[in-house]
Amino acid sequence: MNSVNKKEIEKFSKMATEWWDPNGKFKPLHKFNPIRIKYIKENIIHNFKLNNKTKPLRGVNILDIGCGGGLLSEPMQRLGANVTGIDASINNIKIAKIHAKKSGLNIRYFCSSPEKFKVNKKFDVILNMEIVEHVDDIQFFLKCCSKLLKKNGIMFIATINKTLKSYIFAIIGAEYVLRWLPIGTHEWEKFVKPEDLKSILKSNNLFLNKLDGMHFNLIKDEWNISKDTSVNYIAKFLKN
């Protein structure tokens, strides 16, 4: 079995050189990044009861799945975590490695999907951010991801809900009207309802601990955590 959607990989591979351009095709992710970093950092600190003031995530082993060019891997490393990033696109991994080297960061990057990634030691935290809506078989993908996570570990998933509102905002609004994303970035059929995510992960010994919406404030030009999960949402699962 395979979780890699070749069409999706080709699509993102073609845009790989733009990962670190804040005004390029990944501009929405650059806008998204501050709130993702804050949410992940605060939840890891709370969960593992960490208290290092200068490097708050020191000693935490993180696997960033579908890491792209490293937009999230790098901040996690700067916060003190030991970071490994995997992506099924070799172009993305090349860009991520070059940028990490330029930034003086020691991040381990591998071109791999979770089902093919072999490790001796499981991870404390797995990041599945904006990736589950791009894989070929979400059940198989999450099953493979869960095998890489330690008992009592955390899996964060950020994705888009499957609602009429998400079709209007995430596809028509973001791709066709505002042109935030290239047309064809998302397919509504691949969006995931929180209850479906919950059900898939429950069968892999992962249980929902926290679910929050993410809302873009047009006036402030920034993302915020919200109670509204009808479009973008972020979930924290704990492994039993």
- Per domain, the residue ranges of the chain are 6-52+74-239
Closest residue by Cα to residue 31 from 39, 22, 40: 22
> Strand 232-239 to strand 149-160: parallel, antiparallel, or no bridges (unpaired)?
antiparallel
Helix (H) or strand (E) segment spanning residue 87: strand 82-87
What's the N-to-C CA distance of the chain in angstroms? 25
CATH entry 3.40.50.150 includes domain 6-52+74-239: yes
Positive/negative CA dihedral, 189, 190, 196, 200:
positive
For residue 113, which of 80, 130, 136 has the smallest C-alpha distance? Answer: 136
For residues 13 and 66, give the distance between their C-alpha atoms in angstroms, rounded to a whole number. Answer: 12
Nearest-angstrom CA–CA distance, 67 and 129: 8
* pTM (two decimals): 0.94
How many other β-carbons are positioned within 10 Å of the β-carbon of residue 128?
23
Structure tokens at 63: 């696997």
Determine the Cα–Cα distance for residues 190 and 96; give it in Å rounded to an integer: 26
Per-residue pLDDT of the chain (240 residues; tens, 9 = 90+): 889 999 989 999 999 999 999 999 899 899 999 999 999 999 999 999 999 999 999 999 999 999 999 999 999 999 999 999 999 999 999 999 999 999 999 999 999 999 999 999 999 999 999 999 999 999 999 999 999 999 999 999 999 999 999 989 888 877 777 677 778 888 888 999 999 999 999 999 999 999 999 998 889 989 999 999 999 999 999 999
